Amino acid sequence: MVQKKIRNMEEFAAVSGISRPTLSKYFNDPDSVRRSTRHKIELALKQYDYRPNVFAVNQNRRKTKNIGVVVPNLADPFFSEIGREVELACISAGYSPILLSSHGNPSQERNNLESLRSLKPAGVLLAPFGRVSDHAEIESFNKDVPVVLFDANIEGICEAFVGTDNFQSVDLIVEYLCRSGEPPCFFEMKSPTNPNANKRRQAYLESMERHGHTPHIFQAEGSEWNFEEIGSAEGGRFLSENAFKTNTVLCSNDRLAIGMLSAAFRQGRRVGHGEGCDLRIAGHDDHPFSRFTCPSLTTIAQDYAAIANRAVSTLFRILDADERLKQREETQFDGKLVMRDSA
């Protein structure tokens, strides 16, 4: 069944017996044509595999069916996971996601937005760096294309933010740690670019106060993305110097915790809450590898799927209504405590 190759919509109109404007309507929205013509078209589509030329289609449209998805670093499994969820949600809504990683480089974030501009996306889902992001650029971008932030919030910018409630989640694990042993110290990066890190520190301070304990914060030098390395080197240093005031350390995120666990192992420390253990380490994020650390890492699980879906649905609400939200929305999902062996 060798069919004549269809070169354009004109030719497809000829073989399908449907006029070109109607076909154009159909490809724009299959439900916008009469049921019977839709059947005719789809029958013809099976015989002759024709697809509208993507570039010609988008040339005239002011908005495309593209959704930009920008994450700070795909090498971080957290973002590859949530990026995937977001991608899937976009596809099932009939949009084409374009996933861009900023490779841990804030200036790349600007580049990515810049390239997205020329792709005329209908909307953008952005997980920003935070403090080091180009706020002005993002704000200006949002004027042209609706942007929904996820994971990391930038106060007052863009249409909406979807993430995890760090105050709830940190309080949850602090409460658990206090209840089940010595109150935790807090281990983090010295100058985190990520706003979540700042919130977690704040949440730790408030939570400790609420539970009537003295907070102890330990900060690691370094500003790169190699958190494991930093957790291992700096966390290991604190450990070997016996700097921590209690036998329990809450790390600002799992990657730091993974590094610290490796340092603890090297130093022969017994980590965990069981018999013969003298150190407890906990994290935050439920990193895909946290189940396989030694010992497995007690942490907070963020609801990846919920965050991704809410971010996407919020964006689509804007796109469907074809107007911006009356008011900026912030959604924060609860984290869940994942009790494993390390604390």
Partner DNA sequence: TGTAATTTTTGACGCGCGTTAAGTTTTAAT
Partner DNA sequence: ATTAAAACTTAACGCGCGTCAAAAATTACA
Rule CB under 8 A: which residues touch a copy of itself?
51, 53-56, 58-59, 74-75, 77, 80-81, 83-84, 96, 98-99, 101, 103, 115, 118-120, 228-229, 232, 258-259, 261-262, 265-266, 288-289, 291-296
C-beta of 60 vs 92, nearer to DNA:
60
Q: How far is the CB of 143 from DNA (least distance, A)?
A: 19
Binding mask 32-71 for DNA (x = CB under 7 A): xxx-xx--------------xx--xx-xxx----------
Matching residue, tokens 């995120």 = 253
226 binds DNA, rule: CB under 7 A: no
From 21-29, 99-107, 261-269, 289-297, span contacting DNA (CB under 7 A): 21-29
120 binds DNA, rule: CB under 7 A: no
Q: Which two tokens stand for residue 246?
A: 């209690």
Sequence-separated (6 or more) residues with CB below 8 Å from residue 261? 271, 281, 293, 294, 295, 297, 342
Q: How far is the CB of 55 from DNA (least distance, A)?
A: 8
Q: Is the dihedral of CA 316, 321, 324, 329 positive or negative?
A: negative
Decide which of DNA, a copy of itself, none touches 295; Cβ closer than 5 to 8 Å per partner kind: a copy of itself
7 binds DNA, rule: CB under 7 A: yes
Sequence-separated (6 or more) residues with CB below 8 Å from residue 155? none
Decide which of DNA, a copy of itself, none touches 24; Cβ closer than 5 to 8 Å per partner kind: DNA
- Return the number of other C-beta atoms located less than 10 Å from residue 280's C-beta: 22
C-alpha 213: how far from chain center: 33
Contact 248, 183 (CB under 8 A): yes
Q: What order do you get walking across the sheet with 185-189 strand by strand?
A: 217-220, 185-189, 248-251, 280-282
C-beta of 255 vs 284, nearer to a copy of itself:
255
Decide which of DNA, a copy of itself, none touches 33; Cβ closer than 5 to 8 Å per partner kind: DNA
79, amino acid identity:
F
Contact 253, 194 (CB under 8 A): no
Decide which of a copy of itself, DNA, none touches 208; Cβ closer than 5 to 8 Å per partner kind: none
C-beta of 64 vs 219, nearer to a copy of itself:
64
- How far, in Å, CA of 242 to CA of 269, rounded? 12
Which positions touch DNA (CB under 7 A)? 7-10, 17-25, 27-28, 32-34, 36-37, 52-53, 56-57, 59-61
